[in-house]
Homo-oligomer: A and B are copies of this chain.
Amino acid sequence: MNGKGTTARTRLERGRGALGPALELVHTGRAPTRAVLTAELGVTRATAGAVAAELEALGLIRVDSRPGAGAGSQGRPSHRLSIDDKGPVALAAQVHADGFRAALVGLGGRIVATAPVRSTVTADPAQVLGEVVEAGAGLLRTTGLRCVGAGLAVPSAVAEPEGTALNPLHLAWPAGAPVREIFAERVRAAGIEGPAFTGNDVNLAALAEHRHGAGRGAQHLLCVATGHRGVGGALVLDGRLHTGSAGLALEVGHLTVNPEGRPCYCGSKGCLDVEADPLAFLTAAGRAPGPEVSLLQQARDLLRTEHADPAVRRATEELIDRLGLGLAGLVNILNPDRIILGGLHRELLDADPERLRAVVADRSLWGRSGGVPILPCTLDHNSLVGAAEVAWQPVLDDPLGALAP
């Protein structure tokens, strides 16, 4: 008998210190039962039980008395810990060149509801963000779920601590637009409680992949992706996003990957930004980019459907070599224990994983660091989930403090 009501009530004031770590373990799927939770936290069973009861009382998780696929077949079966699907959610928003989208994301990175994508991104950030927040507010109204906060992913470097978008170029937004401020104001205006965060989309995608995707368990996770124009990077260190002292870290686009390469707008030449993005791929394959769909879509289609074409094959190999050189440079500096690729880079990895791994290993200084696993990202909408992740962070750090008052 797991006396739910009363037991949880009497323990409500206990377990503050271990509460955050415990929730994070359940959140990332590393604590399926209380027994595992006990081991992972390094506490006694009594403490783990109290903590789980408290998280249940907060409406965040559920303790099922049913099966619980425990460890060995012997001994008393453990109760299963799961995320309460009636629990609170975070409002996640994403803006990119093709449009914007809003979603509600619960613990565990589960997308609870999504608003249809709109493809009208105007030059006015306040209008776009107002619409996307309104879409999210609509989702909250129809589902009736509690909201812990809001997160926004933008395809631009975001300066800290101001929260301004430094290069939202392919959104046609003004450089330096105070996106965090605008977003926070719209969130407040929509009557949504909780704090509002804003971050670079690749950074947030990396965070999501680290917690719920291909990056699980990595201590030093490097993420590189290309979507529309340019190349983005992100680093997750010990579970935390490393954004540098001013939010400008991992601007990897200007590593030199081709000394004889084409000139870059930064003043150098042969930069990763202009040598390994969708436009570079289309150009290398001798195709003129069309205006209908996004560059990423065009490049992806070309790579998938015409990979037998010699020109496409050559372009693929060339981009893999350039990307590999860039990754090797990053490996020498950051020495990650895992690399995850997104966007077109993910397609390049799928097209010829051996070639890419060989280039990285060959141009890394030590065989060991060059042998770092390179994986495709595995999470749908990882930027969106990452945006929710930062909104969830205060709750993960201190559940009682963030939810009680």
Q: Would you give the shortest CB distance from A329 to chain B, in whole angstroms? A: 7
How far, in angstroms, from A335 to B366 measured CA to CA in the complex?
A: 25
Residue with the greatest number of chain B CB neighbours at <10 A, chosen from A330, A336, A337, A365: A365
Stretch at the interface among A71-79, A121-129, A137-145, A248-256: A248-256
A245 within 8 A of B: yes
Assuming the contacts A237-B237, A266-B363, A270-B259, asked whether A251 and B336 have C-beta atoms less than 8 A apart, the reply is no
Which A residues from 354 to 371 make CB contacts under 8 A with B?
Answer: 362-363, 365-366, 368-369
Q: Is the CB of B245 within 8 A of A336?
A: yes
Q: Is the CB of A243 within 8 A of B335?
A: yes
A244 within 8 A of B: yes
Q: Is the CB of A252 within 8 A of B363?
A: no
What does the 1/0 interface line of A219-246 toward B look like (CB < 8 Å)? 1100000000000010001000011111
Contact with A259, one of B159, B245, B260 (Cβ below 8 angstroms): B260
Q: Is the CB of B249 within 8 A of A337?
A: no
Q: Is the CB of B337 within 8 A of A248?
A: no
Q: Would you give the shortest CB distance from A396 to chain B, in whole angstroms? A: 19
Q: 9 A-B Cβ contacts within 8 A?
A: A159-B366, A219-B245, A245-B372, A246-B368, A250-B333, A251-B332, A254-B365, A255-B256, A267-B363
Q: Which residues of A contact B (CB under 8 A)?
A: 157, 159, 166, 219-220, 233, 237, 242-252, 254-256, 259-260, 266-270, 329-330, 332-337, 362-363, 365-366, 368-369, 372
Further contacts, 12 of them, CB under 8 A, given A245-B336, A250-B333, A250-B335: A220-B244, A246-B335, A248-B332, A249-B335, A252-B332, A252-B333, A254-B332, A255-B255, A266-B363, A330-B333, A333-B333, A333-B334
